[in-house]
Amino acid sequence: MVATDKVFAGSVPEIYEQFLVPLIFEPYARDLAGRVAEAGPKHVLETAAGTGVLTRAMTSQLPATARIVATDLNPPMLAQAKAKQAGDSRIEWQQADALALPFQDQSFDVVACQFGAMFFPDKIQGYREACRVLRPGGRFCLNVWDKISENEFADVVTEVLADMFPHDPPRFMARTPHGYFDTDLIREQLGAAGFANIAVNALDHRSKAPSPRHPAVAYCQGTPLRNEIEARDPARLEEATNKATDAIARRFGSGAVDGHIRAIVITATRAS
């Protein structure tokens, strides 16, 4: 991972929420919230909450008595999340690094993390922290993306940018969001951090958008891929977005578009 991979700031949070969340995150948030609700938790910690798509799904699937502490490394992402759920007294928002959680041992029934673990520079440390703050028998629910070839729009955008910057291709999407899909390694790392009963499932969905420009804007401008494009040439962000739009249109059509996405969904329990 390079340093800018974890920077979700500037214009990214707003574009992420408007374009990327409906494109790829909502169905997985409903699924993960269901797995959280199955555990019947009173007190939930969410790490890497981003703009709050999972937080919103949990508030609609959990009983009114459940409390959620929603955290993220980047305050601008949490600000977007908070703006959407202002006044919901069940949620407490707090900036926190998932690798150094500012919470006492055994203080939560469930820890939930949607598409955050890929950004942890030390996965076992992130899992150790989740384990530490869970009560014994508590549940950890997380998901990560499968490899980029199973996630079609991300793959097409990455190929277009490799053509545009052949000497230094922006590899953020393949390297980080789609770079942590080895299920044996994930199991091993969760086990090393103190988890048992580790269940791993692949979950496919269709990613739908009203036009080819939507996924192009979502990936080129609403993720840290933007940081990589602008680091090469800030004047070429619009050109990159246009080239991505054209490539998506060539492969998926010029009207509403529909691509395959796949994630890996994991649940585990704190062993003791």
CA distance 188 to 198: 10
Q: How far is the CB of 167 from ligand SAM (least distance, A)?
A: 28
Residue 23 or 257: which CB sits closer to ligand SAM? 23
Contact between 110 and ligand SAM (CB under 6 A)?
Answer: no
Q: Tokens 């759920």 label which residue?
A: 85
Does the footprint of ligand SAM cover residue 221 (CB under 6 A)?
no
Out of 31, 66, 116, 245, the residue judged to bind ligand SAM by CB under 6 A:
116
Span interacting with ligand SAM, options 57-65, 71-79, 182-190, 199-207, rule CB under 6 A: 71-79
Closest chain position to ligand SAM (CB): 50
The whole-angstrom separation of Cα 204 and Cα 261 is 6
Per CB under 6 A, 119 contacts ligand SAM: yes
CB 213 within 8 A of CB 242: no
Tell me, residue by residue from 141 to 180, as one string, x for binding to ligand SAM by CB under 6 A and - for no binding. ----------------------------------------
50 in contact with ligand SAM (CB under 6 A): yes
Q: Is 261 in the site for ligand SAM (CB under 6 A)?
A: no
The span from the CA of 126 to the CA of 138, in Å, is: 16
Contacting residues for 165 by C-beta, under 8 A, at least 6 apart: 232
Q: Which of 19, 93, 108, 115 binds ligand SAM (CB under 6 A)?
A: 115
- Residue 170, judged by CB atoms within 10 A of its CB (0-12, 13-18, 19+), counts as buried
Please tell me whether residue 77 binds ligand SAM under the rule CB under 6 A: yes
In whole angstroms, the minimum distance from the beta carbon of 98 to ligand SAM comes to: 4
Q: With DSSP H G I counted as helix, E B as strand and the rest as coil, what are the percentages for the chain, rounded to 5?
A: 50, 25, 30
Minimum CB distance to ligand SAM smaller for 203 or for 249? 203
- Interacting residue with ligand SAM among 15, 33, 44, 49 (CB under 6 A): 49
- Parallel, antiparallel, or unpaired for β 195-209 and 257-270? antiparallel
Pick from 251, 267, 84: which is nearest to 157 by CA? Answer: 251
Q: How far apart are CA 180 and CA 130, in angstroms?
A: 18
Q: How far is the CB of 19 from ligand SAM (least distance, A)?
A: 12
Q: How many residues bind ligand SAM (CB under 6 A)?
A: 23
Contact between residue 158 and residue 174 where contact means Cβ atoms under 8 Å apart? yes
Q: Does the footprint of ligand SAM cover residue 186 (CB under 6 A)?
A: no
